[in-house]
Amino acid sequence: MATTTIAGHTVEVNEEGFLTDPAQWSEDLGAELAALIGITMTDEHWLLVKFLRDDYAAMGETPTLRRVSTQTGKPVKDLFTLFPGKPAKKMAYVSGLPKPKGCV
């Protein structure tokens, strides 16, 4: 585990850059994490981040892409548009959560 400073916050991250303690996350940190991967946050992005963080708190694990889609009513195609390439991984990263199970 490494310690790094992002947006003025000293946080612990794993070898892939994911926060190891979701409690260290804040909205300004999330916005900076998004910027680091080329995403400009919109209200639509923030709604998904809020869902991920709430679902993680309730379920104890990061929701999969399928769960995000079914629980929010947001088509998977839209998730790929908002978080291009690997949406589940990118949503978790921006949300300060562990990578979802089954994510490579």
Q: What is the DSSP string of 25-67?
A: --HHHHHHHHHHTT----HHHHHHHHHHHHHHHHHSSPPPHHH
Instruction: Work out the average pLDDT over 21-42.
Output: 96
Mean of all residue pLDDT scores within the chain: 94
Rounded alpha-carbon distances, angstroms, from residue 23 to 28, 29, 71 = 13, 12, 23
Q: Which one of the listed residues 36, 57, 59, 103 is annotated catalytic? A: 103
103 part of the active site: yes
pLDDT for 102 beyond 80: no
pTM above 0.75, yes or no: yes
Q: What is the dihedral of CA 37, 59, 5, 85, to 10 degrees?
A: -10
With a CB cutoff of 8 Å and minimum separation 6, the contacts of 66 are 76
pLDDT band at 1 (very low <50, low <70, confident <90, very high): confident
